[in-house]
Every structure is written in C-alpha cells, then in structure tokens.
Amino acid sequence: MAKAEGSLLTVGLAQIAPVWLDRAATLEKVKLYTEQAAQRGCQLVVFGEALVPGYPFWLESTGGAQFNSPLQKTIFAEYATQAVQLEAGHLGEIRAAAARHRLAIYLGCIERPTDRGGHSLYCSLVYIDPTGEVASVHRKLMPTYEERLVWSPGDGHGLRTHRLGAFHVAGLNCWENWLPLARAALYAQGEDLHVAVWPGCMRNTRDITRFIALESRSYVISVSGLLRRADIGSDSPWREIVTGAAAEILADGGSCLAGPNGDWIVPPLESEEKLLVAEIDYRRVLEERQNLDPSGHYARPDVLHLEVNRQRQRVVSLTD
C-alpha cells in the first residue's frame, strides 16, 4: 500500500493502447496497469484521453461527416454500447483497486450519462480518489474538429482541484489544455499538479507540456494513448472497413512529465506501451512560485477577473 510522505509524491504515466471499442477488455487492462502502478509505489496513475473504450479514429478515414450514413450509424451505435455509464457500475473494479491500494486514478472515458438522457456521448476525465470514490467527472468543454460528430459539448462541473498529498491536482482533456481560461480556472483553485490527457500524438505533448509548466509553475503530466492499425481488428464488416482505411499508426504516444521550471523529468515516450514512474517534490513548486504565481502575487484581480459556472448542465428540472 502506497503512502504519500511529506512533500513527495510518486506518479505513474500509463501509456497503453485500448482493446479498441471493447469496454470490458480495456477496463481489465486498466486494472492490470493500476496494480502495476501500486506495486511500484505510485500514489497517482494517469491514463490517456478516451481510453475506455477508445478514441473515434474511424471518423477521419470513413467519411464521418456523411449525413445519414448507415456505416456511421452502425459504428456510433457500437461506440455508444461500449461507452462507460458510471451509474451502471462500469468502473466498480477500478474504484475497488484504487481503494485497496490507496491510489488515485485519472482515467479518460467515453461517458454515456443518464443525466443527459443516456444516449449522447461525452469525452470525460474521471478522477477516482484514494478511497475509491469518484470525486469528479470532467466532460470535455468543446470536442475538437471531427470529434464533434460523435461527442457532445461538456460543462464546467468538473473544473475542480483535488488534494493529493501535498499537491492539488486537476486535469483537462486534449486540446482544451490550450484554453487559457480553463487553465486559469484550475490555477485559481490552487492547482500545482496539472494532468493533460491525449489520445496519442507526440506533436501535441512535446511543446504544450513544458509551456503549461512554465506558465503555471506547476508539475505537468501528459499521458497519451497508443493505437496501431492491427489494434482495430476485423471481426465485423465495419471493423474491416476501418482497418482497410486506417494508417499504420493512428496514435504514437508522447507521454511525458515536466517540472515547474519547464525542464523534462520524463521526456516524451514514443510508440511504446509502458508504465512510466517518477517521484515529484512539492517544494519545487514553492521554489518556482517565488518569482511567478499566476493566481497569487502576480495576479491583478482588480483588473482581470474570471467567473466559472460549475453547474452540471441538464435540460430538465423535475419536481414530484
């Protein structure tokens, strides 16, 4: 059982491929890597964006924008069937593993929540705390480009920080890490360990990870997924079509960790399934905040002020 002591925290970056569009098998893989992270003394383990059950790589190569396409309807229905419903207990074993090892987890999921009717999909970043409780579910504020064909826009409910040892940790999905106000909302809540999750692309993590670290004077963990053509499979007609249209490499990783001065602690790792483990020290945050604290001594709230709506958005309020 891992325990955080003083200013130190051991973190795990799980760069893995999903069992693509297979929720149960992918969650088994997540559980396996969670156990490995616990064995290596981690107090936090992070998995990539949309890992369960996988990123919608078919859209770009199969005419995803074609209206009323039978192929797109078929794949979307399968995607929705394999999505995560927290209300159905799909993350129960992962939560139990977190509680058993006193280990926090950030997990990228495609969520099909009942509070929005149970049919639309959201790209969600789930934080499970060391007691096994789901402490926040952040639904991606704005899906990027073709993602909008299958994912719905989220809300601000999950823009929250969580105390973990000496740190306050929070996270964002993929390109919303580029949103200055989303980052500022987390900085203002005391974030000093930022988690950025990605489907898997070196060009995304290589620059922005260090940039966020320098801007916030925080540690920044970027965790990406992997996907190769061979991972798609061919056990259905639509999988054969997607496999035939896919590039050899669809997601090449790029998981990395930068310190609060922007230096690499773990440089980007390309095209390899691996659990990366590092120890970070909260005192380094304090050292770097000496000359820049974006929500503290370097802020001007009398001039610049941000308002954040953290209500969970619903289309109906029912009174019985």
What are 19-70's pLDDT values in tens digits?
A: 999 999 999 999 999 999 999 999 999 999 999 999 999 999 999 999 999 9
- Give the largest Cα separation in the chain, rounded: 60
Tell me how far apart the terminal alpha carbons of the chain are, to the nearest angstrom. 46
One of 29, 42, 49, 256 is an active-site residue; which one?
49
- Measured from the Cβ of residue 13, the count of other Cβ atoms closer than 10 Å reads 27
**Model pLDDT for residues 260-273, shown as the tens digit of each residue:** 999 999 999 999 99
**Distance between CA atoms of residues 63 and 54, nearest Å:** 19
Q: Does 202 have pLDDT greater than 70?
A: yes
**Distance between CA atoms of residues 8 and 171, nearest Å:** 20
Task: Please enumerate in sequence order all residues whose Cβ is within 8 A of that of 197, keeping only pairs 6 or more positions apart, or say none.
Answer: 46, 47, 48, 49, 106, 108, 125, 171, 172, 173, 174, 222, 223, 224
- The per-residue pLDDT for 294 is 96
- Measured from the Cβ of residue 290, the count of other Cβ atoms closer than 10 Å reads 9
Q: Average pLDDT, stretch 182-192?
A: 98
One of 29, 109, 111, 140 is an active-site residue; which one?
140
Residue-range domains of the chain with CATH: 8-289 (3.60.110.10)
28 is catalytic: no
3: confidence class by pLDDT, cuts 50, 70, 90 = very low
5: confidence class by pLDDT, cuts 50, 70, 90 = low
140 is catalytic: yes
**Model pLDDT for residues 117-140, shown as the tens digit of each residue:** 999 999 999 999 999 999 999 999
**Model pLDDT for residues 239-262, shown as the tens digit of each residue:** 999 999 999 999 999 999 999 999
Is residue 178 a contact partner of residue 245, using CB atoms and an 8 Å limit?
no
174 is catalytic: yes
The phi-psi region of residue 152 (left if phi > 0; otherwise alpha if psi is between -120 and 50; otherwise beta) is: beta
In percent, how much of the chain has pLDDT > 90?
A: 98
Tell me the β-bridge partners of 104: 44
Q: Does 192 have pLDDT greater than 80?
A: yes
One of 42, 123, 174, 256 is an active-site residue; which one?
174
- The per-residue pLDDT for 1 is 41
For residue 165, the one-letter residue type is G
Of residues 77 and 5, more confidently modeled: 77
Quote the tokens at residue 226: 């992997």
Average pLDDT, rounded, for the chain? 96
Secondary structure of the chain: what % helix, strand, coil (to 5)?
A: 30, 30, 40
184: confidence class by pLDDT, cuts 50, 70, 90 = very high
